[in-house]
Amino acid sequence: MVIVIAGKDRGQKAKVIRAFPQESCVIVEGVNVVKKHQRRTANNRKGQIIERAMPLHVSNVMIVDPKLGTPSRISITRTKTGVRERVSTKSGQSLK
């Protein structure tokens, strides 16, 4: 879960559908939706207007703290077994 911190959809909480690490972008469910006009084709596809979620830059979203429900930064720590774990900096709770 992330919260949008900048742009026209500021304040919305939603799930990340897809991430593009090379471009530093994420697609968030129901956020940054645009209308795309689709042309009719010969092989039975109707002409219509489709709503699509477009990518957002990762600097415009923050991870939601699972305990508090507010935006939080994360830190990477190692457990006693040596496994890397993402931890919320506000509450100290593990993110899974």
The reported pTM is 0.79
Give Cα separations from 96 to 22, 81, 87 (angstroms): 23, 17, 9
* Residue 46: per-residue pLDDT: 86
* Residue 42: per-residue pLDDT: 79
* Residue 65: per-residue pLDDT: 93
Give Cα separations from 91 to 23, 78, 87 (angstroms): 30, 17, 8
The answer to whether domain 1-61 has CATH 2.30.30.30 is yes
Mean pLDDT per block of 10 residues along the chain (96 residues) reads 94 96 96 93 85 96 93 93 93 89
* Residue 72: per-residue pLDDT: 94
